[in-house]
Amino acid sequence: MQIDGQDYTLFRDYDLGKCHLLSYKGKIQYMDARVRLILIDPCKKSMADAQANYMGLILTTAVCAGISAAGTFLKGRRASKKGEDKEFFIDFIVDYMDQVLQQKQHNGHSWASWLYHHVRCGLSHASPSPMEEWRSN
Amino acid sequence: MWIVPRFTIADGGVEVELGRYVEITRNGPEIQPMRLLDDFSAGWSKYLYDLQDAGEHSQLGNRFANRFEEIFIK
């Protein structure tokens, strides 16, 4: 696709020498198109048939990874200290996603916290011992 | 990132046929995956809109540009 008068594939390795040419608005346009291309659109296609193809668990994990990635853009850097990955994940949800995820479950944990510990980290690790952290909270 | 050996969510789960976005069921907390995807998609769009609105010299814009540079330029 064309952004700021240049052709971009939206794949990092192919675009690596050209991304510095992007304007601020061009960078936004690039990220908009890229996240739709590599995450949102493929998930939508697969989820249309999620009952039959058993993709529900995998797709939910992929969306959670997307929330984590979005959180690093919101914060301006990757998570590096203990607990930051959760903080970045939760902060994107709080700022940009449905408020129902901030509501508490009967055990006092929010849906966002459950999503992080049991879905995001329960299936694909993002921190050394997320389940231990969950139990200690 | 790797899939842990258990291959399951320890407390609750993902339920395609769930009537609500999230719900406490007899199986514990459950989430409807399509609603999660739609929610993330809308949130991502709103974030990008906020970036355009805030401008490149805002804190939001600076942070976005820093992260973009870390990943796609450096």
Give the integer Cα–Cα distance in Å for B32 and B18.
Answer: 6
pLDDT at B12: 86
pLDDT at A16: 86
Give the integer Cα–Cα distance in Å for A5 and A26.
Answer: 10
Per the listing, tokens 């590096």 go with A80
A125 or A118, which is more confident?
A118
Q: Which residues contact B37 (CB under 8 A, 6 or more apart)?
A: A40, A43, A44, A47, A59, A63
Closest A-chain CA to B8: A123
Of the candidates A31, A63, A76, which has its C-beta nearest B63's C-beta? A76
pLDDT at B2: 44
pLDDT at A48: 85
ipTM surpasses 0.85: yes
- The pTM score is 0.90
Phi, psi of B24 (to 5 degrees): -85, 120
Of the candidates B21, B42, B48, which has its C-beta nearest A32's C-beta? B48
Tell me the average pLDDT across A27-56.
92
**A106: burial class by Cβ within 10 Å (0-12, 13-18, 19+)?**
exposed
Q: Closest Cα partner for A10 from A43, A18, B65?
A: A18
Name chain B contacts of A118, Cβ cutoff 8 Å: 9-12, 29
pLDDT at B25: 92
pLDDT band at A54 (very low <50, low <70, confident <90, very high): confident
Give the integer Cα–Cα distance in Å for A124 and B51.
Answer: 30
pLDDT at A57: 86
Does A131 lie at the interface with B, CB-CB under 8 angstroms? yes
pLDDT at B6: 61
pLDDT at B1: 40
Q: Which residues contact A123 (CB under 8 A, 6 or more apart)?
A: A57, A61, B3, B4, B7, B9
Q: How far is CA A22 from the centre of its chain?
A: 23
Integer angstrom CA distances of residue A11 from A8, B42, B64: 8, 23, 18
Residue ranges of A 2-31 with Cβ closer than 8 A to chain B: 12, 15-16, 19-20, 24-25, 27-28, 30-31
**Facing residues of A7 across strands?**
A2
Does A132 lie at the interface with B, CB-CB under 8 angstroms? no
